Amino acid sequence: MAARSKTKKPRSRLKPDVIEEMFRRLSDADPAPTSELDYVNAYTLLVAVVLSAQATDAGVNKATKPLFAIADTPEKMVALGEDKVRDCVKTIGLFRNKAKNVIGLSTALIEHHGSQVPQSREALEALPGVGRKTANVVLNVAFGEPTMAVDTHIFRISNRTGLAPGKNPLEVEQGLVANIPGKYMRHAHHWLILHGRYVCKARKPECERCLIADLCRFEGKTVAL
Ligand code: SF4
């Protein structure tokens, strides 16, 4: 069958028992998925996620390895200073603004949160450089909360499969939080990102080796089921 447009939407949402089966398989295949961003504590996770906007995880890890070796707390980062932080992250896109935000958020953590990363969406989103997506990653990964950060991979898979079709990231996020069984929410973010990055790729999804191919409603599937 000829491949159809990759942006074509599925006809309808998946049923709850299909979603349960989808996550059962993803869970069986990779029971404890982890972030591909390197970090050593909640603070360095927050910094790594802020640096990762419009950059690859590998590129961010390369820059943060020497940075976190000398600055793994807000105090150490502020002591290092914006110029040195900028120098450490200069290989990452938008590095000037990101270095400024790293110092700004570190200062705010010291001044308002006892140097700790707050477990509150409102407090996180008030930090320089931190938006809804970053807050969702930190709440999920550092604190185990059932939040869902929708990146380009998760947006694509949610629409292709019928898991949570939506016109924008917030609509997809709300659909995912409503549709994914609670017991899978802790790891759902990573399962979906990894699936999008390595199997359900943007240009050419590898449906022939996809473990949820028979459940997926994408009309452009490259495998007949
Ligand atoms: S079958 Fe799998 S790889 Fe293909 S579109 Fe669906 S989820 Fe993506």
Per-residue model confidence (pLDDT) at position 13: 85
Q: Are 64 and 90 contained in the same domain?
A: yes
Confidence at 5, pLDDT banded by 50, 70, 90: very low
Number of domains, the chain: 2
pLDDT reading at 11 higher than 80: no
Q: Are 68 and 118 contained in the same domain?
A: yes
Q: Are 151 and 189 contained in the same domain?
A: yes
Q: Are 47 and 127 contained in the same domain?
A: yes
Per-residue model confidence (pLDDT) at position 34: 86
Q: Whose Cα sits closest to atom 6 in ligand 1?
A: 216
- Per the CB < 8 A criterion, the answer to whether 198 and 204 are in contact is no
Distance from Cα 89 to the centre of ligand 1, integer Å: 35
Distance from Cα 175 to the centre of ligand 1, integer Å: 19
Q: Are 76 and 104 contained in the same domain?
A: yes
pLDDT reading at 216 higher than 70: yes
CB of 187 sitting under 6 A from ligand 1: no
Measured CA to CA, the distance from residue 69 to residue 66 in angstroms comes to 5
Q: Are 22 and 103 contained in the same domain?
A: no
Q: Whose Cα sits closest to atom 1 in ligand 1?
A: 213
Of residues 10 and 102, the one with the higher pLDDT is 102
Confidence at 183, pLDDT banded by 50, 70, 90: very high
Q: Are 64 and 107 contained in the same domain?
A: yes
pLDDT digits (tens, 9 = 90+) for 85-133: 999 999 999 999 999 999 999 999 999 999 999 999 999 999 999 999 9
Q: Are 78 and 137 contained in the same domain?
A: yes
Per-residue model confidence (pLDDT) at position 4: 45
Specify the DSSP class assigned to residue 183: G
CB of 210 sitting under 6 A from ligand 1: yes
CB of 185 sitting under 6 A from ligand 1: no
Per-residue model confidence (pLDDT) at position 1: 37
Q: Are 186 and 122 contained in the same domain?
A: no
The domain boundary, picked from 100, 120, 141, lies at 141
Instruction: Check if 151 is active-site.
Output: yes
HSE value, Cβ hemisphere, 13 Å, CA-based, for 176: 31
Asked if residue 103 belongs to a domain, the reply is: yes
Nearest ligand 1 atom to the CA of 205 is 3
- Active-site annotation holder among 151, 201, 204, 214: 151
Q: Are 23 and 92 contained in the same domain?
A: no
The range of the structural domain enclosing residue 114 comes to 42-141
CB of 191 sitting under 6 A from ligand 1: no
Asked if residue 3 belongs to a domain, the reply is: no
Asked if residue 218 belongs to a domain, the reply is: no
Per-residue model confidence (pLDDT) at position 8: 53
CB of 200 sitting under 6 A from ligand 1: yes
Asked if residue 71 belongs to a domain, the reply is: yes
Asked if residue 219 belongs to a domain, the reply is: no
Distance from Cα 157 to the centre of ligand 1, integer Å: 8
Give the total residue count for the chain: 225
pLDDT reading at 212 higher than 70: yes
pLDDT digits (tens, 9 = 90+) for 137-148: 999 999 999 899
Distance from Cα 200 to the centre of ligand 1, integer Å: 5
Asked if residue 172 belongs to a domain, the reply is: yes
CB of 216 sitting under 6 A from ligand 1: yes
Per-residue model confidence (pLDDT) at position 224: 73
Please spell the DSSP secondary structure of 10-61, one letter per residue.
PSSPPPHHHHHHHHHHHHHH-SS---SS--SSHHHHHHHHHHTTTS-HHHHH
Asked if residue 4 belongs to a domain, the reply is: no
Confidence at 221, pLDDT banded by 50, 70, 90: confident
Measured CA to CA, the distance from residue 208 to residue 224 in angstroms comes to 9
Asked if residue 102 belongs to a domain, the reply is: yes
Determine the average pLDDT of the residues in 142-158: 94
Q: Which pTM was predicted?
A: 0.88
Q: Are 124 and 166 contained in the same domain?
A: no
Confidence at 178, pLDDT banded by 50, 70, 90: very high
Per-residue model confidence (pLDDT) at position 20: 97
Measured CA to CA, the distance from residue 222 to residue 208 in angstroms comes to 7
Instruction: Check if 83 is active-site.
Output: no
